[in-house]
Amino acid sequence: MKLVIDNRTVEAPEGTTILDAARHSGVAIPSLCSHPELTPYGGCRLCIVEVEGMRGFPTACTTRAEEGMTVRTVTAEIRQLRREVLQLILSEHPASCLMCEEAEACASFQTTIRKAGVTTGCRTCTNDGRCDLQEVVESVGLEEIAYPIYYRNIPVEKDDPFYDRDYNLCILCGRCVRICQEVRMNGTLAFKQRGRRTTIGPAFDRSHLEAGCEFCGACLSVCPTGTLGEKGRKWAGAPDATTASACPFCGLACDLQILARKDTIIGTLPPDTGTCSGGTLCVKGRFCVPEAANHPDRLAGPAARVEGGVLGVPMEEAIQRAAGLLKGVEGGAFAMLLSPDLSLEDLWVAGRFAREVMKSDRLASTAVEALGPAVGPFLEVAAGNRLADIGESDCIVAVGADFSYGFSPIALRIMAEARSGRRYIRVGAIEDPTAKLARESHPHPLAQESAFLEHLIASAHRPLFVLGPDVLFPDNAEAVLAAVRNFTRSGRAKALALLPHHNLFGLAALLGDTLERGASALLNDGAIRVLYCLENLPGGPRPAAVSVIHQSPFRPPASSADLVLPAAGMGEAPGTVLTLDGQPAVVRQAVGPRGTALPDWKILSAIATAMGRTDFNYADAGEIRREMPPSFALKPLRSLEGQTRGPAAAPPANQPFLLHRRPPYESFRGVALNALVPGFADLLPSGHIAINPGDAARLGTTDGDIVRVEAGGAAAEFPVKPSPRLTPGTLVLIHADPSARFPSNPCAVNLRRR
């Protein structure tokens, strides 16, 4: 298709807009509300053009380019109208700095106070220099604003986690609303009010948390102004380096860009182009990386327990001390705790270290153990994972999958399928953002699991079960998984198991056959002399081992370690992981390791070398990778023999709530994410009873009130957290010790206000 733009004949594919056609041919038309990922809007009115044969001034972003069209993007009248419209936009946006004579000097020398609580101009705006509006003002070339400035004087909204909202800066381009509704299919954001009072936010003055926001940050990514500001990097300034890497927080290992400034991670963004994970991060990938990477508990150097206290030591000395502690310890006297967050390279070297140097195969992981006895069959199902199955099935059944704050790319694919008419069924306790598109929603089956699942897929030809981590924790998890496994074995259905850890697949593939199940048993095993921990131990009494070596990016729990070795954290070392469909994903180094920290494989290699080995002299991660087998097959963790304990079918009348418990499996190197990232604790707090807001109101409780949970003879007290994600009658408790105090999971309980 050919059309003429500003007297030049340009080529454009069918169906593009004039704006796209112009941009592809190098003609810049200013615009603020348009965005390549979003449907045309036509709100800002800056991209007005003249089209021969059309009345008035159509907007380039909403007008389809047509064969033979003649478009003019710059005429005297268009230029004048654009300047007027831009002035109108700026009259609602504190932008006096744009017109200030000292703007440049001010930016360079910061003669004004920067960390102001209220944005009064560009120099006090967190987005200064990264603002589409500033760019447009420059390209249009505005020198003055002929209109008075309206300041909306709306208090800055700071109550929700992760980002602040200063709607005094909003130009109402609607990008955030559209990405929330169109791309994320969430709908938390909408326009409110009308006329001069028009603003943006959840309806009925709810907080974002109450409105079901996933805190995916998509709105921030597209905001052309400083209205939406990431709490974590509001004042960090523009990044000086951007590294394409992978998210460290679950088995999807979504592509993301790590933003760094002065060798410090300041944030993450979705990748520019999208595949499955493109632009679709969840709250963990979007906001949690910098907070976890820069956590105060990060280790900057080694330390050793000495008589009378703990002593910081140089790395070389720490390596020697480690070698000394390990000398003469062999076989069953040595045990190693691995983390499913370690890269394949780290795991490979750790495996070699344990087996070849220490002659021990006592390997375990508390993070894997926390997933419960059903993790074996879960991984067995996961061995058949294929992401493409989502698009190829005619019925998707999600079991135990909570898509609120994780696995967003999967959720978005499922929702896209459901929206185009695919049958989607949910089974689980949580009302997540996909619920509104589900044909049916069911609670977790308490008995007759196989028949129940069979019934759901009765009319489907190519059903797909999507198993979330929450499927692992009910007492009958193994029965549910056995039923799914039977479907997949017989070819009746496919399954996709969502792995909650970064490299759980890699851990199982490399070391699954030797992994011991009872990691916590190692803590009390008197036969072990040295316990080498690559993940944080749970707090509590010191392990029975004579010596404990702690190697992690994070400080160990108090007094549990004899030697502390600082490992590189996320984004600080290159490596490879296996994503949940068995494909390798590359993790790149964005910044240098903190302090004297080293990649885990480097520390282990150094210790091996110090112990006299000569075959641990890897130059880099790539060399380790070359030593590893070229492909990986999953090794079963454990044979499928589950004892199922089915709790009573319906909650009795005096115990009207059904309490589901699960561990805080969102973790990194053994540290729960809600302990690392305060904002994440607002979303999924540990040790709180999450309850439907209506139920909470009926009980007369509000956020933080203590309630007494009674089940049969057992009782315990917890604070409550009303959450719109809970259906009436359902409670969820995230608790580190899932077996604690209640006879079954889920468990019928009664709730009383204390």
Residue 150 found at the interface with another protein (CB under 8 A):
yes
Scanning residues 609 to 638, which ones bind another protein (CB under 8 A)? none
Q: Would you say 57 and 78 are in contact if contact means Cβ atoms under 8 Å apart?
A: yes
Residue 148 touching another protein (CB under 8 A): yes
Q: Contact region for another protein (CB under 8 A) — 81-89, 430-438, 522-530, 566-574?
A: 81-89
Taking CB under 8 A as the rule, does residue 115 contact another protein? no
Are 184 and 418 within 8 A, CB to CB? no
What is the b/e burial string over 591-622, where b = at least 16 CB atoms within 10 angstroms of the residue's CB?
A: bebbebbbbbbbbbbbbbbbbeeeebebeebe
Based on the shown chain and the rule CB under 8 A, indicate whether residue 165 belongs to the binding site for another protein: no
Cβ closer to another protein: 198 or 207?
198
Residue 16 as a binder of another protein (CB under 8 A): the answer is: no
Please, what is the minimum distance in Å from the beta carbon of residue 452 to another protein?
Answer: 34
Interaction between residue 201 and another protein (CB under 8 A): no
132 binds another protein (CB under 8 A): no
The one-letter amino acid at 569: G
Count of other CB atoms within 10 angstroms of residue 257? 17
Residue 59 binds another protein, judged by CB under 8 A: yes
From the CB of residue 56, how many other CB atoms can be counted at a distance below 10 Å?
A: 7
Q: Which of residues 650-689 bind another protein (CB under 8 A)?
A: none
Query: Is residue 235 within the footprint of another protein (CB under 8 A)?
Result: no
Closest CA to 188 of 166, 206, 170, 175: 206
Question: Among candidates 631, 387, 389, 370, which has minimal Cα distance to 487?
Answer: 389
- Residue from 110, 198, 583, 739 that binds another protein (CB under 8 A)? 198
Helix, strand, or coil (residue 324): helix
Residue 78: CB minimum distance to another protein, A? 10
Q: Is 145 left (phi over 0), alpha (psi -120 to 50) or beta?
A: beta
Q: Are 230 and 245 in contact (CB under 8 A)?
A: no
The region of 94-102, 171-179, 424-432, 723-731 touching another protein under the rule CB under 8 A is: 171-179
- Whose Cβ is closer to another protein: residue 57's or residue 632's? 57
Ranges of H-type helices in 585-668: 600-610, 621-627
Residue 673 structure tokens: 């994410």
Options 44, 281, 398, 607; binder of another protein; rule CB under 8 A:
44
3-state secondary structure of 281: coil
Instruction: Rule CB under 8 A: choose which of 13, 138, 141, 147 binds another protein.
Output: 147
Which of 89/183 has CB closer to another protein? Answer: 89
Query: Pick from 1, 24, 37, 57: which binds another protein (CB under 8 A)?
Result: 57
Task: Report which residue type is found at 491.
Answer: G
In the complex with another protein, the residue whose CB is nearer, 57 or 452, is 57
Pick 166 or 600: Cβ nearer another protein: 166
Of 156, 6, 142, 165, the residue nearest 82 (C-alpha): 142
89 near another protein, judged by CB under 8 A: yes
Q: Quick one: 60 or 412, whose CB is closer to another protein?
A: 60
Rank residues 25 and 181 by Cβ distance to another protein and give the closer one: 181
Token representation of residue 227: 């209205």
Among 4, 74, 81, 383, interactor with another protein by CB under 8 A? 81
**151 lies in the site for another protein, by CB under 8 A:** no
Q: How far apart are CA 586 and CA 578, in angstroms?
A: 9
Distance CA 227, CA 234 (A): 11
63 is a site residue for another protein (CB under 8 A): yes
What is the residue-wise DSSP string for 626-687? HHS-SS--PPPSS---PPP-PPPSS--TTS-EEEEEE----EETTEEHHHH-HHHHHHS-TT
- What is the token pair recorded at 283? 């709250």
CA separation for the pair 68, 624 (Å, rounded): 59
Among 9, 75, 111, 193, binds another protein (CB under 8 A): 193
H helix or E strand, kind and range, residue 34:
none
Q: Closest separation between CB of residue 220 and another protein, Å?
A: 21
For another protein, the closer of residues 206 and 741 by Cβ is 206
Question: Which residue among 45, 286, 485, 735 contacts another protein (CB under 8 A)?
Answer: 45
Stretch (H or E) spanning 32: none
Q: Which residues bind another protein (CB under 8 A)?
A: 40-45, 48, 56-59, 62-64, 81, 84-85, 88-89, 91-92, 146-148, 150, 171-172, 174, 190-191, 193-196, 198
